[in-house]
A and B are shown apart, each in its own frame.
Chain A
Amino acid sequence: MTALDVKNLTKRYPSFTLDDVSFTLETGKICGLVGANGAGKSTTLKGIMGLIPTEGEVEIFGIPASSPEAKPLVGYAGGGFRFYAQKKVKTLGRVVSTFYPKWSDEIFYGKLKLFGIDAEKKISTLSEGMKVKLSLALALSHGARLLILDEPTSDLDPVSREELCDTLSDLVQTDGVSVLFSTHITSDLSRLADGVVLLANGKVVVRERLETLLQTYSLAEFPSRETAQGLGVKRVGNVFRSLVSRGFVRQGVQVREPSLDEIIVHLEYERRAEK
């Protein structure tokens, strides 16, 4: 079943357009939304959540995202996680609970305990990682089946990031939730995601299963620009690197498997060169 279906999502600003963004996320999968700063990741997520008026269609488990039935199925945590810093965790939980008929205090306090969050503490005293986990606890307590997270790992230290990735991974395994998260930390993607949507300048450049994407390309190192071919030719030290099709062979050219970071960087260079 499709957890999230985004069709032709478009948002026009005077200096930027989110242009016809379409992708799907299957139930129980994790999808990473990646792209350079200003590529349109947050705009896409806000458009899905209805925080900004957009053109196009968004369906959540087959229900239009704008309908009141869809919102309880979604848990959203925007960048910064700065909600009500001076309030206690339990106060926020109590207030949020009134909006959801399926809210479970048992799940809420259970998840808080699991994540090591003291309900009596003020939100301001929680670490950034704990704040993200609080968002997850709130979402799961009202029965959210789809988590939409805007750069959940960007403010975290490596250990907290690892913990959060473990948590998300566990939630998908144990609770069967689906996750769409934006990030520019591709190591998180490699670790977590089943699929990747790469945005560049408001457009979807790649929409692929992570495994397929990694198997599509090789990274070639050419001795000169003249001999270089492939996507996104870029000088690195004394060689010129580019993405080539898997299976590419040429004498004097070293070929190896690229990292996800390298694929994203070279695709971005290729897009800029075309422009």
Chain B
Amino acid sequence: MTAKLLKKEFALCLHPTCILFLLFSAFVFIPNYPYEVMFFFSGLSVFFVCLTGRENGDLTFSCTLPVRKQDVAVARVLFCNILQVALLVLAGLMTAIKECCLPEAAQVNMAGTTANLAFLGYGAILLGAFNLIFFPMYFKNSARVGIPFVVAAAVQFVIIALLVVLRFASPAYAEIFCAPDNYFAVEKAAVFIVGIVFYAGATIFSAYLSARIFKKTDL
């Protein structure tokens, strides 16, 4: 049934910005830019999906279909999850292309985290944090989409700010995590793995929590 709901999400709920913001993975080619903002835009596309969903009466309509109420919540989280994974994969691809094509000096980001494995790990953490905050709040009161987004985006910006501060405040951190992948690969791979594990855990917990909350929510 989740597969059918996912099909419904793609056919009826996909907002054009979801595709547009996936292209922001190419941000990694901009010299000296805070690449982490692409993960903020990912959250913005989720916000647009939920906002237009509200205007379309999507959750109510979905709940009148022969599905369990909680499946509707899980399918929405999963749908956004697919978009987020697509962004991570695209960002990884763009990073790999950048590392192959540009000289090492041009790969280093002077404005924040360099596009490397650790950056992808941070991206996964940013997306996981967004999911953990946004969806349970959204499914508690789907009419108020803005507040969950503002809170989740604020947390994302705090994490991004922390990463930027670390980049400049700690030379050791910058040397290890803001260098191209050819250097300190193990450390960066560790951050990547931690990020992916956090993302998976946060998203699964978010889906579980959202389903429980949504079951008790009035539509």
Contacts A53-B218, A78-B60, A98-B4 given; does A84 touch B12 at CB 8 Å: yes
Among residues 35 to 84 in chain B, which have CB atoms less than 8 Å away from a CB atom of chain A? 55-58, 60-61, 63-69
Q: Are B56 and A85 in contact (CB under 8 A)?
A: yes
Contacts A53-B216, A92-B12 given; does A82 touch B56 at CB 8 Å: yes
State which of A49, A52, A68, A87 has its C-beta within 8 Å of the C-beta of B64: A49
| Given A82-B55, A85-B56, A99-B12 contact (CB < 8 Å) | no
Give the shortest distance, in Å, between B79 (CB) and chain A (any CB).
13
Closest to A75 in B: B64
The residue from A46, A68, A82 contacting B57, defined by CB atoms under 8 A apart? A82
Q: Does A51 contact B (CB under 8 A)?
A: yes
Q: Which of B7, B11, B58, B64 contacts A76 (CB 8 A)?
A: B64
CB nearest to B53 among chain A residues: A84
Give chain B residues whose Cβ lies under 8 Å from the Cβ of A87.
11-12
Instruction: Tell which of A80, A84, A91, A99 touches B4, judged by Cβ atoms closer than 8 Å.
Output: A99
Taking the closest CB of chain B, its distance from the CB of A40, in whole angstroms, is 13
B215 CB–A CB distance under 8 Å: yes
* A80 lies within 8 A of B65 (CB): no
Q: What is the distance, in angstroms, from B102's C-beta to the closest C-beta of chain A? A: 41
Most buried by A among B57, B64, B219: B64
Docked-complex contact A50 and B63, CB < 8 angstroms:
yes
B residues less than 8 Å from A249 (CB atoms): none
| CB of B98 closer than 8 Å to a CB of A | no
User: Using Cβ atoms and an 8 Å threshold, which residues of chain B touch A185?
Assistant: none
Cβ–Cβ contact A52 & B219, under 8 A = yes
Q: How far is the CA of A50 from the CA of B66 in the complex (A)?
A: 11
Q: How far is the CA of A78 from the CA of B63 in the complex (A)?
A: 12
Partner among A53, A85, A99 whose Cβ is within 8 Å of the Cβ of B66? A99
Contact B55 A95 (CB under 8 A): no
In this complex, how many residues of chain B approach chain A with their Cβ under 8 Å: the count is 22
Cross-chain contact of B11 among A50, A68, A85, A91 (Cβ < 8 A): A91
Bound together, the chains give a CA A85 to CA B60 distance in angstroms of: 15
Across the interface, which residues of B come within 8 angstroms of A53, CB to CB?
Answer: 215-216, 218
Give Cα A46 to B58, complex, Å: 15
Complex partner residue of B63 from A51, A84, A85, CB under 8 angstroms: A51
Contact string against A for B residues 204-219, beta-carbon threshold 8 Å, 1 for contact and 0 otherwise: 0000000000011011
User: B65–A96 contact, CB under 8 A?
Assistant: yes
User: Is the pair A95, B12 in contact by a Cβ cutoff of 8 Å?
Assistant: yes
Given contact pairs A53-B216, A76-B64, A84-B12, A95 touches B57 in the complex (Cβ within 8 A): no
B129 to chain A: closest CB distance in Å?
Answer: 30
Q: Does A71 contact B (CB under 8 A)?
A: yes
- Are A99 and B61 interface neighbours, CB within 8 A? no
Residue A223 at the chain B interface, CB threshold 8 Å: no
A246 on interface, CB distance cutoff 8 Å:
no
Q: Do residues A83 and B57 form an inter-chain contact, with CB atoms below 8 A?
A: yes
Interface contact B219-A51, CB-CB below 8 Å: yes
Query: Does A98 lie within 8 Å of B7, measured CB to CB?
Result: yes
Which chain A residues border B12 with CB–CB below 8 Å?
A: 84, 87, 91-92, 95
Of the candidates B7, B56, B219, the one whose C-beta lies within 8 Å of that of A84 is: B56
Residues of A within 8 A of B215 (CB): 53
Closest 8 CB pairs of A and B: A71-B66, A51-B219, A52-B218, A76-B64, A95-B11, A99-B65, A84-B56, A83-B61
Q: List 14 A-B contacts (CB under 8 A).
A: A46-B219, A78-B64, A82-B55, A83-B58, A84-B12, A84-B56, A84-B58, A87-B11, A87-B12, A94-B11, A95-B8, A99-B8, A99-B66, A100-B66
